[in-house]
Amino acid sequence: MNTAIILGPLGQSSTELPFYSYRVPAGFPSPAQDHMEQALSLDELLDIHAPHMYLVRAIGSSMIQAGIFDGDILVVSRGRTAAHNDIVIAAVNGETCVKRLSKQGESVVLLSENTKFPPRYIMEGDELMIWGVVVASLRRHAVHG
């Protein structure tokens, strides 16, 4: 069930990146300086409020239909209360996982977003801890170095 590795707390950054209003189609155009809308902080874009945020690396393929793939880095908020249908970082009997939280009446179920994986029903005697709500995911498309 280990599908998440805690990477550590997320610190605030004062770095701002140029944000272009030009929408890039799946073609080749290059953003021009005259399309620059403003400087954009990734902290602002991802609504990062350290120290209530931390990073987790997803492992495996149980959440692919939610757009979370093996190796993705998830931005997790500890300051948000988990609600039905949120994607959460949970620990069930000490094993961490990333799953969709489903509350079905009095029952709690952790759902995978891949039909190859069964739901995990929280049974009497199970210890469930919600470690936060996933608010964003990051994926590297190019390898540096």
The residues carrying an active-site annotation are 62, 99
DSSP class per residue in the chain: ---EEEEEEPPP---EEEEE-----SS-----GGGEEEEEEHHHHTT--TTSEEEEEE-SSTTGGGT--TTPEEEEESSS---TT-EEEEEETTEEEEEEEEEETTEEEEE-SSTTS--EEPPTT--EEEEEEEEEEE---S---
Rounded to an integer, what distance in angstroms lies between the CA atom of residue 108 and that of residue 122?
6
Q: Which two tokens stand for residue 30?
A: 């290059």
In 3D space, the residue among 59, 53, 140 whose CA is nearest the CA of residue 98 turns out to be: 59
